[in-house]
């Protein structure tokens, strides 16, 4: 896109501070079912599901955890079997050796430092083996304590297209978003962008004709 065109597009839609609320409201009305796609019944299952979801799809994780969570109900259960058995049980999620190592390390720490409970602050969550900032953000947010904004591939693409950030690095994008998005929306905001990204603002071919924020988007092709 030529620079003058970008400038013109940004001028047309107005400053991002004025657009953010209508963007959130319209996406929330459009994607009322926007929520995490992982299936879990407890905080521990949430943590395990998010850890397993690295480099694979939520559908795939749900398929594996359906059986996994029948067998592994508490942190001790993950340590009671041979590492190879846990590896086999999570094999289909990919990177199973690494993930099994991280799961065991995390369960050990939960038992040693948190009485077997899942902590809910970002600082504590990122200390768990294999729990990076994105995983911690997802878990904290689902526990009702969002302390940042989850930036995955959809959030990154849509934030850029909507002109909410000029950054490319997820950590820097998150820094821009937390300054812009009202705190009470930190939890649902990524879900809205993820679902909009899956259904409408598709990576290769955004469906701008069907987009509810078309007049608020500097990248609109309409």
- Site residues, ligand SF4 (CB under 6 A): 161-162, 200-201, 206-208, 211, 213-214, 217, 219-220
3-state SS, 43-84, equals HHHHHHHHHHCCCCCHHHHHHHHHHHHHHCCCHHHHHHCCHH
Instruction: Check 16, 89, 99, 134 and give the catalytic one.
Output: 134
Q: Which residues contact 5 (CB under 8 A, 6 or more apart)?
A: none
Q: Which residues contact 128 (CB under 8 A, 6 or more apart)?
A: 47, 105, 106, 109, 110
Quote the least distance from Cβ 211 to ligand SF4, whole Å. Answer: 3
Cα 33 to chain centroid distance, Å, stands at: 15
Q: Where are the alpha helices (DSSP H) in 96-203?
A: 96-113, 122-125, 133-142, 153-161, 170-180, 188-199
143: its two tokens: 């526990």
- Report which of 194, 154, 150, 217 is spatially closest to residue 28, judged by C-alpha positions: 194
Distance CA 45, CA 35 (A): 16
Quote the least distance from Cβ 207 to ligand SF4, whole Å. Answer: 6
Quote the least distance from Cβ 151 to ligand SF4, whole Å. Answer: 16
Quote the least distance from Cβ 136 to ligand SF4, whole Å. Answer: 28
| 42: number of Cβ within 10 Å | 12
Query: 134 an active-site residue?
Result: yes
Instruction: Check 77, 120, 152, 215 and give the catalytic one.
Output: 152
Query: For 130, phi and psi rounded to 5 degrees?
Result: 80, 5
Quote the least distance from Cβ 125 to ligand SF4, whole Å. Answer: 31
Query: 172 an active-site residue?
Result: no
Residue 89 near residue 66, CB atoms below 8 Å? no
Residue 208 near residue 221, CB atoms below 8 Å? yes
Question: Which positions are catalytic?
Answer: 134, 152
């Amino acid at each position: 896109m030529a620079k003058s065109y970008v400038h013109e597009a940004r001028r047309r839609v107005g400053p991002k501070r004025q657009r953010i609320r209508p963007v959130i409201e319209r996406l929330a009305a459009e994607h009322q079912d926007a929520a995490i796609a992982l299936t879990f019944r407890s905080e521990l299952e949430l943590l395990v599901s998010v850890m397993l979801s690295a480099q694979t799809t939520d559908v795939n994780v749900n398929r594996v955890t359906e059986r996994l969570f029948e067998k592994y109900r508490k942190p001790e259960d993950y340590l009671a079997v041979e590492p190879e058995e846990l590896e086999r049980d999570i094999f289909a999620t990919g990177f199973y050796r690494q993930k099994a190592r991280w799961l065991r390390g995390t369960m050990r720490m939960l038992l040693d430092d948190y009485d077997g409970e899942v902590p809910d602050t970002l600082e504590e969550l990122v200390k768990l083996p294999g729990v990076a900032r994105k995983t911690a953000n997802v878990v904290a947010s689902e526990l009702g304590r969002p302390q940042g904004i989850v930036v995955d591939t959809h959030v990154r693409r849509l934030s850029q297209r909507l002109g909410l950030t000029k950054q490319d690095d997820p950590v820097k994008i998150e820094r821009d978003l937390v300054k812009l998005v009202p705190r009470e929306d930190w939890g649902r905001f990524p879900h809205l962008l993820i679902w909009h990204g899956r259904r409408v603002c598709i990576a290769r071919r955004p469906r701008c004709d069907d987009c509810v924020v078309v007049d608020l988007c500097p990248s609109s092709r309409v």
